A and B are shown apart, each in its own frame.
Chain A
């Protein structure tokens, strides 16, 4: 493990050996990851820079707590996650909602496995949105009768709009299992809901 150049770099910073030079290497190596994370979350370029600064400032302050028992990326993510959640909470407190706009963007990727039931789009009329909300309510009730894992897959797919691959990762099951669950669920829901307009459409 000591042969890992990354760990060696961290050990040297922890030991106070050429701190500036070594920490700069660490910064240059992981800055793109952290900066792009905040950009992906919908923060502006300037906000992302500030949050990235905050992340690395905290990395420097707490580098001694990294023991190398797990990967550095996992440790780094915990700091990033903490700063991200704090920022969301701060904005929630300030009643600012600018960040929400970007989150819709992840469903506008044009990916072929994009969900059958979309999060309400802003270009829908109030009536259409009401119908969609009604459809989701019916679906939620119908999901309750499904087996646990099938229900979780359906929620992630039809309510949250996740891709098969993402569902598989989050649920720690194979993509084939996700597809099988969703296929079975569709059949059951069609039977339950009578194939009406509120039922989910298969697109796999």
Chain B
């Protein structure tokens, strides 16, 4: 047997046990059988495995065997204790490494967070709030050239609110005007393009307009000349 083990290759224990458990393909199984038929060592390994699988543990009898088992257990546990201590040392070292990594990560995260907040504040000051992080209610105002003259549309708003414009006339540029009841111009923005009108809004914060009634107009600008589109809209601002 001692010669058998080194004189030739033998199937791994995994394959032998898989053979017994019918987990191999017919070809692999046949190869194992062929090997086993000519290899006493492996045939006996299979029989050994059978012995393990058929093992029925018995209650330990008191006496010499039990004393020996107890002695062997103490011997084993002392040896295991060595790796246990080493293991706990390793894990404390590992924990230390982990904590250090965690602290580094926390510092990095704090720096990145501060940088991100700073950049956001700067961007907001520069460009105003992006719409997606400024979710104020929207109100659509329609300016239609085809609307019959004399029809005055009324819009009730309670700032903050974002006015969205719908228009049926094409101009290179558009302008929005908000006038007080006496006709005084309070707000004007004349650089809207059609695409801007479609995708952007005019945000009105509380305090931008005092509660009251205003006139809202949309003008089409062509060759530098503004032309009213439809009738002005009566804008009623509530506190």
**Contact surface of A with B, Cβ cutoff 8 Å:** 20, 23-24, 27-33, 37, 49, 52-53, 56-57, 60-61, 70-71, 73-74, 76-78, 80-82, 85, 88-89, 91-93, 97, 99-100, 103, 148, 151-153, 155-156, 160, 162, 166, 169-172
Contacts and interface: CB of A to CB of B under 8 A. Distances in A.
A185 B3 CA distance: 29
Interface residues of B, number: 43
Contacts, number: 121
Given A52-B72, A53-B72, 16 more contacts: A24-B77, A28-B73, A29-B57, A32-B57, A33-B55, A57-B79, A70-B21, A74-B49, A74-B52, A77-B13, A92-B6, A152-B34, A155-B37, A166-B43, A169-B47, A171-B36
Contact of B13 (A78, A91, A99, A171): A78
Contacts of A56: 76
A61 B83 contact: yes
A200 B212 CA distance: 121
**Counting chain B CB atoms within 10 Å of each CB, which of A32, A70, A74 scores highest?**
A74
B80 interface: yes
Contacts of A100: 1-2
A152 B37 contact: yes
B45 A81 contact: yes
A54 to B, nearest CB: 10
B60 A28 contact: yes
B53 interface: yes
B235 to A, nearest CB: 70
B13 A81 contact: yes
Given A57-B76, A166-B43, A170-B43, A92 B48 contact: no
Contacts of A57: 76, 79-80
A100 B41 CA distance: 12
Contacts of B40: 160
Ranked 4 nearest A-B pairs via Cβ: A152-B37, A88-B5, A77-B52, A78-B13
Contacts of B2: 88, 91-92, 97, 99-100
Interface string B1-39: 111011000100110110011100000000001101110
A153 B33 CA distance: 10
A77 B48 CA distance: 8
A73 B21 CA distance: 13
B58 to A, nearest CB: 8
Nearest to B65: A32
A91 B50 CA distance: 26
A91 B60 CA distance: 33
B13 A82 contact: yes
A37 B72 CA distance: 16
B140 interface: no
**Counting chain A CB atoms within 10 Å of each CB, which of B34, B43, B51, B52 scores highest?**
B52
B131 interface: no
B14 A78 contact: yes
B90 to A, nearest CB: 13
A41 to B, nearest CB: 8
